A and B are shown apart, each in its own frame.
Chain A
Amino acid sequence: MEKLLRINMSAEGGPEVNVIPIGEYAGLGGRALTSAVISKEVPPLAHPLSEDNKLVIAPGMLSGSIAAMSGRISVGCKSPLTGGIKEANSGGQPSQVLARLGYAAIILEGKPKDGDLYKVFINKDGVKITPDNSLKMLGNYDVVEKMKGEYGDKIACISIGPAGEMKMSAASIAFTDMELRPTRHAGRGGVGAVMGAKGVKVIVLDDKGMASRAPKDPGKFKAANKAFVEGLKKHPVTGEALPAYGTNVLANIINEAGGYPTNNFLWGRFPGVSKISGETEAETEVARGGVATHGCHRGCTIQCSGIYMDKDGHYLTKQPEYETVWAHGANCGIDDLDAIAMLDRLDDDYGLDTIEMGATIGVAMEAGLAKFGDAQAAIGLIKEVGKGTPLGRILGNGAAVTGKVFGVERVPVVKGQALPAYDPRSVQGMGVTYATSTMGADHTAGYAVTANVLKVGGFVDPLKAEGQIELSRNLQIATAAIDATGMCLFIAFAVLDQPETFQALLDLLNSFYGLKLTGDDVTALGKKILIMERDFNKRAGFTNQQDRLPEFFKKELLPPHNVVFQVTDEDLDKVYNW
């Protein structure tokens, strides 16, 4: 991964390919690389859909190696949804394949002067870009099928659906999974709209003839990987709960805690939760001949995904994960797993962020466009988006736009991005992360529960009054660092409880690159990423006024615990004081 692939879509005579050494970005991967490029090269006041914005697609530092769990890929740009910097990441096969082809990143620049839609093919022999207008407005599933027909089934694809072509702010970028289906998405922030603005429909990757990336010290690397995998397998979350039930195992306990947002964040409990929980979902999948334990990319040992079949036993979609089931389920009052799975399938095909779309439909239901609990109406609304009707265009631009158009006061967004599946009034520390993340409301921004191992910024006493601010800060720093490695965030649970597993992660990085990183270095990397992102947002016009939750979280009591968000603005402003 010593080279960058820059594609200038504005060039005279058609797109221009430049393969250049990685240069000043050497040593960076994943989110560290995407945020460094965007922060340095994109004018912060540029329109997100303009030729001045860039789309950076970067595998993690360990992607392409045999390290377990190293298949995450980061997508960076200035976000059309938030107006700030964005890093959205995804699983799937492309991260490993792109890294094996030797690219630290693909950077799409400029904007085509014609109205053509392009496909990009990358293999060991080089890069080929061709216009292919037959792909226009195809769903992701059809695009991938066409690419299979042209290039065979040993490829990996990065594509957008109609939502991306229509430059909707909720548009995602799809990454194919092990079965060559477009089920993994860099969902958040409208990254698909930026790819659409660049005029690129699909990037096809073929790593035939390329070997796995070789570590500097193969012996130590192999030993570290073995210890790392053992640590994941022996931990009850990464070794048992996630493989058995996937992330949606959270539904029941978040509901029990009264923090499961229901009917557009009106209540904290959903009466139909047992019908859509991870436990029920897994039993349903198995009973129908699907799979309840499955990885999203080769080398995944946690296997938190699955394959969801319809009532007749035919493939419908991958296992909808916790955020998706909540967004299209409880948040819209829907307790029908099959309908939720259909919504997930449609989102994947049109290329839409499931969280944003679930939140948007919740807002639309509050506006009276449909009744809470009406699954068929929800499916109908998503189809409007896919067709690009005037209503669909509004919905496809997310919850904030929809709320504004239909005059809804209760719109659950921060920096224009919809809140994920935890009510911040119930778990207030999560609210701090939602409010202050550089990305807009984002549950993964403070996900890597490694802070007590890293002791980022000194050991925090979680029982102190200011503990929530410090915990959120430390979680955000640790998460930014893990996002740079290309490691799945779910490794964090094993790292949290098992210091030897955290050491194994460090050993993987050190033996691969010939480094001597310590926990402090990882902390420094996380801080560096956040500083870059925060600086970009500041130059884009963000102030501390954007680091706030919507007013209704401070005013409306959330049943059943009847609490409001109590963290003060003054405390929120302390998160980035380090």
Chain B
Amino acid sequence: MTVKSQLVPFFFPILQKGFAQKIQVGCSIKELLSDRFGLSAEYIENRIQTIFLDGKPVDDMDTAIVRDGTTLALSSAMPGVLGATLRRGGYYSRMRSQITHVEKAELPRRTDGQIIVKLFNLTIRELGPMFLERGIWVDADDLREFFRNQSHELGEGCVEATVDGSNVDMGKIPSWDFTAKRVYLQLQTA
């Protein structure tokens, strides 16, 4: 899709719910963020303050391993005592020790795989446009519901839409019958 830049934030709910990325797995979170996603060391260290691997808060990005099928959630610093508690390596991490991620299994082989990424808080604004431009895999039902709910905004802000290489009328997108379970969505700004 090619959209006006002001329309990009309308896609952010998809990024909260989670989208798939096909990548080489079997690496640490730190490697994933820096080598696969291309984020700067400064951004990773200072900005990504809260990380969940399969729902468990992570304290050490170097030892936590990304496996095929993993769900990875990234967030900037969060408010509240709970925000402080869930923060990576934070002083209050003991308060959630029962759910903290602990790396127990052996290091898996590096291989092609797929993970789910969720973006929260400021990372949506800061990383969301990059992921949308590169392309994300989204559950077809979720995408259909999203298009239905945002049909008015999309009608006004979408410049061009293409499905499987063919231009389509934006008005038809909300009711489009995506045949696959997941849809690859790529966004460009006009």
Complex contacts, A252 vs chain B, CB 8 Å: 16, 73, 75, 118, 120-121
A122 on the B face (CB < 8 A): no
Given contacts A257-B99, A428-B98, contact A279 B12 (CB under 8 A): yes
Given contacts A241-B77, A250-B78, A561-B55, contact A430 B121 (CB under 8 A): no
Complex contacts, B79 vs chain A, CB 8 Å: 237-238, 241-242, 247, 249-250, 304, 490, 493
Q: Provide the bound-state CA to CA distance between A32 and B125, in Å.
A: 41
Chain A 267-302 interface 0/1 with B at a Cβ cutoff of 8 Å (1 = within): 001000111010110010001000000000000000
B190 on the A face (CB < 8 A): no
Complex contacts, A279 vs chain B, CB 8 Å: 12-13, 16, 120-121, 124
Contact residues of A between 422 and 479, Cβ < 8 Å to B: 422, 425-430, 443, 446-449, 452, 462-464, 467-468, 471-472, 475
A244 on the B face (CB < 8 A): yes
Are A241 and B10 closer than 8 Å at their CB atoms? no
| A-contacting 9-mer, from B22-30, B82-90, B105-113, B161-169 | B82-90
Size range of the chain A interface in the assembly: 35 or more
Are B120 and A283 closer than 8 Å at their CB atoms? no
Q: Provide the bound-state CA to CA distance between A463 and B100, in Å.
A: 12
Of B78, B95, B98, the residue contacting A237 (CB under 8 A) is B78
Given contacts A245-B121, A254-B82, A429-B96, contact A274 B76 (CB under 8 A): no
Q: Provide the bound-state CA to CA distance between A275 and B142, in Å.
A: 12
Given contacts A256-B118, A426-B99, contact A447 B80 (CB under 8 A): yes
Are A430 and B52 closer than 8 Å at their CB atoms? no
Of A257, A274, A277, A452, the residue contacting B96 (CB under 8 A) is A257
Of all chain A residues, which has the CB nearest B91? A452
Q: Provide the bound-state CA to CA distance between A429 and B91, in Å.
A: 12
Complex contacts, A430 vs chain B, CB 8 Å: 81-82, 85, 95
Q: Provide the bound-state CA to CA distance between A257 and B52, in Å.
A: 7
B155 on the A face (CB < 8 A): no
A218 on the B face (CB < 8 A): no
Say how far B90's CB is from chain A's closest CB, in angstroms.
Answer: 9
Say how far B48's CB is from chain A's closest CB, in angstroms.
Answer: 11
A253 on the B face (CB < 8 A): yes
Q: Provide the bound-state CA to CA distance between A18 and B76, in Å.
A: 52
Q: Provide the bound-state CA to CA distance between A274 and B139, in Å.
A: 15
Q: Provide the bound-state CA to CA distance between A427 and B98, in Å.
A: 8
Chain A 206-248 interface 0/1 with B at a Cβ cutoff of 8 Å (1 = within): 0000000000000000000000000000011110111011010
Given contacts A274-B16, A422-B82, contact A428 B77 (CB under 8 A): no
Chain B 36-58 interface 0/1 with A at a Cβ cutoff of 8 Å (1 = within): 00000000000101101001110
B171 on the A face (CB < 8 A): no
Of B13, B49, B76, B81, the residue contacting A447 (CB under 8 A) is B81
Complex contacts, B61 vs chain A, CB 8 Å: none
Of B55, B86, B122, the residue contacting A244 (CB under 8 A) is B122
Q: Provide the bound-state CA to CA distance between A430 and B84, in Å.
A: 12
Q: Provide the bound-state CA to CA distance between A449 and B83, in Å.
A: 10
Of all chain A residues, which has the CB nearest B96? A427
Complex contacts, B9 vs chain A, CB 8 Å: 283
Given contacts A241-B121, A252-B16, A257-B55, contact A247 B95 (CB under 8 A): no
Are B92 and A449 closer than 8 Å at their CB atoms? yes
Q: Provide the bound-state CA to CA distance between A498 and B95, in Å.
A: 21
Are A283 and B10 closer than 8 Å at their CB atoms? yes
Q: Provide the bound-state CA to CA distance between A488 and B138, in Å.
A: 40
Complex contacts, A241 vs chain B, CB 8 Å: 76-79, 121-122
Of B17, B76, B78, B99, the residue contacting A561 (CB under 8 A) is B99
B94 on the A face (CB < 8 A): yes
Are B85 and A258 closer than 8 Å at their CB atoms? no
B188 on the A face (CB < 8 A): no
Complex contacts, A257 vs chain B, CB 8 Å: 52, 55-57, 86, 96, 99
B93 on the A face (CB < 8 A): yes
Q: Provide the bound-state CA to CA distance between A379 and B159, in Å.
A: 40
Of all chain A residues, which has the CB nearest B150? A287
Q: Provide the bound-state CA to CA distance between A426 and B10, in Å.
A: 32
Are A275 and B13 closer than 8 Å at their CB atoms? yes
Contact residues of A between 464 and 507, Cβ < 8 Å to B: 464, 467-468, 471-472, 475, 490, 493, 496
Of all chain A residues, which has the CB nearest B93? A462
A560 on the B face (CB < 8 A): yes
Of A236, A464, A493, A563, the residue contacting B76 (CB under 8 A) is A236
Q: Provide the bound-state CA to CA distance between A467 and B53, in Å.
A: 24
A566 on the B face (CB < 8 A): yes
Are B120 and A253 closer than 8 Å at their CB atoms? yes
Complex contacts, A235 vs chain B, CB 8 Å: 77
Given contacts A253-B83, A253-B120, contact A258 B55 (CB under 8 A): yes
Are A250 and B76 closer than 8 Å at their CB atoms? no
Are A280 and B13 closer than 8 Å at their CB atoms? yes
Chain B 140-174 interface 0/1 with A at a Cβ cutoff of 8 Å (1 = within): 00000000000001000000000000000000000
20 more contacts with CB within 8 A, not counting A235-B77, A561-B99, are A236-B49, A236-B76, A241-B77, A247-B80, A250-B82, A250-B83, A252-B73, A252-B121, A253-B73, A254-B86, A259-B99, A274-B16, A280-B12, A283-B9, A449-B81, A452-B91, A467-B94, A493-B83, A560-B55, A563-B99
**What are 8 residue pairs bridging A and B, where the CB atoms are less than 8 Å apart in the complex?**
A237-B77, A252-B73, A257-B52, A257-B86, A283-B12, A427-B86, A493-B84, A496-B84
Residues of chain A touching chain B, judged by Cβ–Cβ distance below 8 Å, are: 235-238, 240-242, 244-245, 247, 249-250, 252-254, 256-259, 269, 273-275, 277, 279-280, 283, 287, 304, 322, 422, 425-430, 443, 446-449, 452, 462-464, 467-468, 471-472, 475, 490, 493, 496, 560-561, 563, 566
Please provide the 3 A-B residue pairs with the shortest distance between their CB atoms, ordered closest to farther: A429-B95, A462-B94, A274-B16
